[in-house]
Structure 1
Amino acid sequence: MTDRESSATTRQRIADALRSDPATASELSTTVGVPASSVYGHLQHVARSIHGDDDEQFLVAPPECRDCGFSAFDDPVNYPSRCPECRSEGIEEAVFKIE
């Protein structure tokens, strides 16, 4: 772990990870070492902190239902428990990236 990583906040570590590679909340949870349930709250703050500074964008490939393909969820920076179209609980996680 470098000095930057040891002194960085959880949100900074999440943002740095997303600048390197796209990731789901579960992957970020493992990478950063925080529970997946708290990653979504951190992601919302990271998304708000990226204002186009340095030409950066917070990008989201939205969650998608494995059964019917629905992907128009109201809040893509959240993990839906079930599909509003077919009620399936088989939802692929959203993928996040900063570029």
Structure 2
Amino acid sequence: MSESDSDATTRQRIADALREGPQTASELSETVGVSQSSAYHHLRHVAQSVESAGDERFLVAPPECRECGFSAFDDPVNYPSRCPDCRSERIEEAVFKIE
């Protein structure tokens, strides 16, 4: 099995999990059995595939600062290390879903 076959399988499992209900990258990493950073990498590709297919939507509830409520992060398919407004590191993870 090539690396691309293995990636496609992981991405399909991520997509299937997101069709079942909303999940964070941490939850997906446990569900699918990949690291959290790998889950974010795969999520970018899943989002592109879903959007290009056009029959479903890839939805993201962006990360949010637990201290000040900031949620206008530049890249919602990422896990920011700190809030750009208050510099807090208490960031709630983004939640992803396909519908």
On whether the aligned pair clears a TM of 0.5, the verdict is yes
Q: Where in structure 1 are there 5+ consecutive unaligned residues?
A: 1-7
1:68 deviates by 0.1
Alignment partner of 1:10 is 2:10: yes
Q: Tell me the alpha carbon deviations over residues 12-55 of structure 1, each in whole angstroms, 9 at most, x when there is no partner.
A: 00000000010000000000000111100000000000126362
Letter in 2 for 1:37: S
Following TM superposition, where does structure 1 have runs of at least 4 consecutive aligned residues deviating by more than 6 angstroms? none
Percent pairwise identity: 79
1:79 aligns with 2:82: no
- The question of 1:24 aligning with 2:54 is answered no
Matched to 1:9, the amino acid is T
Please list, as runs of the form range in 1=range in 2, the aligned pairs for 1:32-43 lying within 5 A after superposition.
32-43=32-43
Once residues 58 and 30 of structure 1 are traced to their aligned partners in structure 2, the CA distance between those partners, rounded to angstroms, is: 20
Q: Quick one: distance in 1 between partners of 2:35 and 2:54? A: 30
Q: Secondary structure at the match of 2:29?
A: helix
Tell me which residue corresponds to 1:70.
Answer: 70
Count of paired positions: 92
CA distance in 2, matches of 1:47, 1:80: 19
AA aligned opposite 2:97: K
TM-score, length basis structure 1: 0.89
Counterparts of 2:52 and 2:35 in 1: how far apart (Å)? 28
